Structure 1
Amino acid sequence: MSQQLPGSDECPRANGMPMLGLGTWENTDPDECIESVQDALEAGYRHVDTAQAYGNETEVGEGIARSDVDRDDVFLATKVWLDNLAYDDVIDTTSASLDRLGTDYVDLLYVHWPSRTYDAEETLEAFDELEERGWIERVGVSNFEPEHMEEAVDILDAPLFANQIECHPLLPQEEVRAKAQELDVEVVGYSPLARGDVFDNDTLTDIAEDNGVSAAQVSLAWLRDKGVTAIPKATGRDHIEDNWRSLDLTLDDEEIERIDAIDERGRRVDPGFGPWN
């Protein structure tokens, strides 16, 4: 892919963050990861999400470097793993992340989970320090429940920019989204296709058929309507392009209501250390 897809310069942004990005969770084949990042950027994506725990920061950085897109035009995010959240470990492992990514800064750094070595005061003090150093442009958290978000906002000197959570039509996360709106925090949705389960939901597939699109596009358009930034994982060019074309889909009020009324609910990512457990 050497050309951007139609409409690819029209991705909406949330406070400077492109509302559709490339997720890289479980994208562990080195060559495939490099290629998917490069392909996505050359198709028009400008938001790439990774994490220390994914084991692919080097490949993500290489994919950016190989693309025809300048690093400063890419919104790059990574996450500090839950074993590395003591003050010194946050600083040291973020430095290592930057080295692996081949960059002097990331646009957004997340606390991956409020678990294990997470101590709100100590951990967030380190994130403030990173922001002051210019190593990170924005502070984020991931998998935070409403009470954790409120605590983080109270402690941080820097603004809390985003909370990345599992979010899709089968797990709409109304309470977290409402609290985020109250606190002026962006919501980033991971697993926005419910790990493939959107393709088995009759409501989503019926709406997709009515619009001549995929159920993936319907889910991504629904999230965008809710103000949620989506970061679907995609490796093959077909899936990368299909997800990108969701930007051309606008669901009408009746379709949004039908999706809102889906009664299937459940997490696809539910580790024992999740703060809701």
Structure 2
Amino acid sequence: MQFVTAHGANIPALGFGVFRMSDAEVERVVPAALDAGFRHFDTAQIYNNEAALGRALQAAGVKRDDLFLTTKVWVENYSDASFAASVRDSLDRLKVDQVDLLLLHWPGDSVPVADQVAMLNEVRAAGQTRLIGVSNYNSSQLKQAISRANAPIVTNQIELHPYLDQSAMIATARETGTAITAYYGMADGRVPQDALLQDIGARYGKTAAQVGLRWLIQQGFVALSKTANPGRVAENAAIFDFTLADQDMAAISALASPNGRIVSPEGLAPDWAA
């Protein structure tokens, strides 16, 4: 298994995300993901499928120490009255005493970053998570979170795919030693249909989707893959037996544009340029 290391923490480079999956889909696909070698699973309170993931992993009988579990606190729980209780509920649903990584899901526009991080510090001190991080923070928010955290912010989970220029955030992450975790790596279905990626893949005997994931991994990012189809899981995992040439990496990166963002919900998303 390949890892991304940040501040001494080892995060499996390829994760399996369950965003927009029903309970039935999660319980059907997780066994296939485990069979394909996935051990890093990513969910969130707002996905409403933590319990299904917990059931599926428990039923599979995989040792807890062999898993890397990530979940995210939803913005409506950013209060002293709700934050810790919501994390305890997440642990109960996942059937674990501690997650490996707990993230603040979005910065939102109502609770200051300093207050969000203070609550994150408390649940980590209580032993409810091993590692802490953020998601969808801009560069200035990431730096503020780092300054306020009592333990390293090991990752910022962000939208990242060939069509979005994230060079500014990547530079900030590298400057601060923070890992980047990439979500929406398939750009909501655009990557598998991309003619350039298909052509590149044909030269390696790989699909466009595998090329897209490899492009992320090869830059040193954690990549979250996702499929509700058990038959496609093994394809997503088979990205460690080839290396994209420098010219192919550059060609894929050249697809990026500043307006390539897909996910930017009002009231949750920050000023991305800050």
Q: TM-score range by the shorter chain?
A: over 0.9
Deviations 1:141-196 (A, max 9, x none): 00001000011011111111110000011124111111011111111001111111
Q: Is the 8 A contact 1:83 1:116 kept in 2?
A: no
What residue is the counterpart of 1:269 in the other structure?
263
CA distance in structure 2 between the partners assigned to 1:13 and 1:184 by the alignment: 11
Equivalent position SS for 2:137? coil
Q: Is the 8 A contact 2:4 2:220 kept in 1?
A: no
Q: Is the 8 A contact 1:42 1:68 kept in 2?
A: no
What residue is the counterpart of 2:122 in the other structure?
129
What residue is the counterpart of 2:196 in the other structure?
203
Of 97, 102, 113, the residue aligned with 2:95 is 102
Of 226, 243, 248, the residue aligned with 2:219 is 226
1:119 and 2:112 equivalent?
yes
Q: Is the 8 A contact 2:16 2:224 kept in 1?
A: yes
CA distance in structure 2 between the partners assigned to 1:151 and 1:263 by the alignment: 27
Give the C-alpha shift of residue 199 in structure 1: 2.1
| Letter paired with 2:57 | I
| Letter paired with 1:52 | Q
What residue is the counterpart of 1:142 in the other structure?
135
CA distance in structure 2 between the partners assigned to 1:88 and 1:182 by the alignment: 35
Give the C-alpha shift of residue 96 in structure 1: 0.7
1:11 and 2:5 equivalent?
no
TM-score if structure 2 supplies the norm length?
Answer: 0.93
What residue is the counterpart of 2:75 in the other structure?
82
1:237 and 2:192 equivalent?
no
Q: Is the 8 A contact 1:203 1:262 kept in 2?
A: no
Equivalent position SS for 2:239? helix
Equivalent position SS for 2:70? strand
| Letter paired with 1:228 | F
Q: 1:133 to 1:48 in 2, by over 3 A?
A: same
Equivalent position SS for 1:165? strand
CA distance in structure 1 between the partners assigned to 2:189 and 2:158 by the alignment: 17
What residue is the counterpart of 1:193 in the other structure?
186
Q: 1:69 to 1:211 in 2, by over 3 A?
A: same
Give the C-alpha shift of residue 78 in structure 1: 0.3
Question: Which structure shows the bigger proportion of residues in strand conformation?
Answer: 2
1:32 and 2:16 equivalent?
no
CA distance in structure 1 between the partners assigned to 2:149 and 2:45 by the alignment: 22
Matched residue count: 267
Give the C-alpha shift of residue 117 in structure 1: 4.2
RMSD: 1.5
The runs of 5 or more residues in structure 1 that have no matched partner are 1-9
| Letter paired with 1:37 | V
Q: Is the 8 A contact 2:4 2:221 kept in 1?
A: no
Deviations 1:78-105 (A, max 9, x none): 0001111123321111011111111100
Q: Is the 8 A contact 1:25 1:50 kept in 2?
A: yes
What residue is the counterpart of 1:23 in the other structure?
17
CA distance in structure 2 between the partners assigned to 1:262 and 1:173 by the alignment: 12
Identity within the alignment, %:
35
Equivalent position SS for 1:115? coil
